Amino acid sequence: MNKSQWTAYLELSGAAVLIGSSVVAGKITALHLPVFFSQAVSLAAALLVLFPLTWRRRQEWLRLSRRDLLLLLLQAFLGMFLFRVLMLYGLQSASAVQAGILTSLTPAAVALLSVIFLKERLTPRLVFGVLCAAVGAACIGAPGWLGTASDAAAPASYAGLLLILAAVAGEAALTIIRKLTASSVSPLTGTTCVTLFSFLMFLPFSLAEAVRTDLSALRMEDAALMLYYGVFVTALAYLLWFSGVSKVSASTAAVYTGCIPVSTVLLSYTVLQEPFSWAHLIGGAFVIAGIRQVSVQSMASPLPTDREPKGRRAAQPAAGK
């Protein structure tokens, strides 16, 4: 396994852990802050970090084609705007652990979409890795779904669970669409564009909420939470994820999304004090086993960085996210 592979795996794992923390942060946000207003503020904070970093690459913005802009717009709408809206509204009735359980389905969703849209081949080892991640999801969810957890008396509404499932579909679409622009748009430019487009989508709704919200009642903790959401969950996590995805296949990236529920469940225990279950620990082990299967497969295969959408000329991927 070469250095580029190790870097990609570390980037994907780090991004997934940060995204997993967004579920816990989102649970607190959904209960105390208006959804659109809080997200607009967090995205504005992310842009304050991203714009200075991308200024040196400003010429790249001028070279973006209409196709690239359309794909970036789709990433912003499906993978950031819809994902956050659906996730945060779903968390108003579902627990953070339950949300983490459902995000475990992301590997299977990405793998399926990569076969359909990117024509990637599912090898036996990769299939086994995805199945391990799916089994991990089932184990993590066992206490809640079977009613054996101490909080099973207060199940989430079906509407909330469906909203989170829809958010998972948006997250999977983000990874697939990113693969279509990975060779022509650098991770840093892609992250900045997606964040900017998402901010513009949230802005009109956030202004309407701000009029109806008593902003003087906001606490320092609320401001810190929105700042964390912007700088770490948005800027840093998406930089790492876009950079990692540009170096590996979509199917490989799919299994690394298994780190998201593990991060969510662990943080739910420590931060939100949600009840512990041994089934969650066993599920986390299966997720890690799935990641190991994909990593072993990649040791014997070249990085797919030269993989291009049909009809496009291959180009060297830019460094940085």
pLDDT tens string 27-56: 888 888 899 999 999 999 999 999 998 888
How far separated are the first and last CA of the chain, in Å rounded? Answer: 22
Spatial CB neighbours of 76, under 8 Å, sequence gap ≥ 6: 193, 194, 195, 196, 197, 198, 201
Spatial CB neighbours of 176, under 8 Å, sequence gap ≥ 6: 110, 113, 114, 117, 118, 250
Number of domains in the chain: 1
**Position 165 in a domain:** yes
**Position 310 in a domain:** no
Provide the residue range defining the domain that includes 289: 13-299
> For residue 154, what pLDDT band results from cuts at 50, 70 and 90?
very low
Q: How far apart are CA 193 and CA 189, in angstroms?
A: 6
**Position 115 in a domain:** yes
Q: Could you tell me which of 256, 62, 274, 253 has the C-alpha nearest to residue 149?
A: 274
In the numeric block, the tokens 């593990």 are attached to: 262
> For residue 194, what pLDDT band results from cuts at 50, 70 and 90?
very high
**Position 217 in a domain:** yes
**Position 26 in a domain:** yes
Q: Virtual CA dihedral for 58, 59, 62, 67, nearest 10 degrees?
A: -90
Q: Could you tell me which of 140, 100, 169, 133 has the C-alpha nearest to residue 252?
A: 133
Q: DSSP code of 216?
A: G
**Position 4 in a domain:** no
Q: What is the pLDDT of residues 228-258, one digit of tens each?
A: 999 998 899 888 988 888 788 776 777 777 7
- Say if CB 167 and CB 83 are below 8 A apart: yes
**Position 307 in a domain:** no
Give residue 151's pLDDT. Answer: 45
**Position 8 in a domain:** no
Q: Could you tell me which of 249, 247, 263, 239 has the C-alpha nearest to residue 294?
A: 249
Q: What is the pLDDT of residues 259-313, one digit of tens each?
A: 777 788 788 888 888 777 777 678 778 877 876 776 565 544 444 444 444 444 3
Q: Is the pTM of this model over 0.75?
A: no
- Say if CB 33 and CB 94 are below 8 A apart: no
Q: Could you tell me which of 241, 246, 248, 308 has the C-alpha nearest to residue 5?
A: 248
DSSP reduced 3-state for 22 = helix
- Say if CB 317 and CB 182 are below 8 A apart: yes
Q: Could you tell me which of 233, 181, 160, 146 has the C-alpha nearest to residue 67?
A: 181
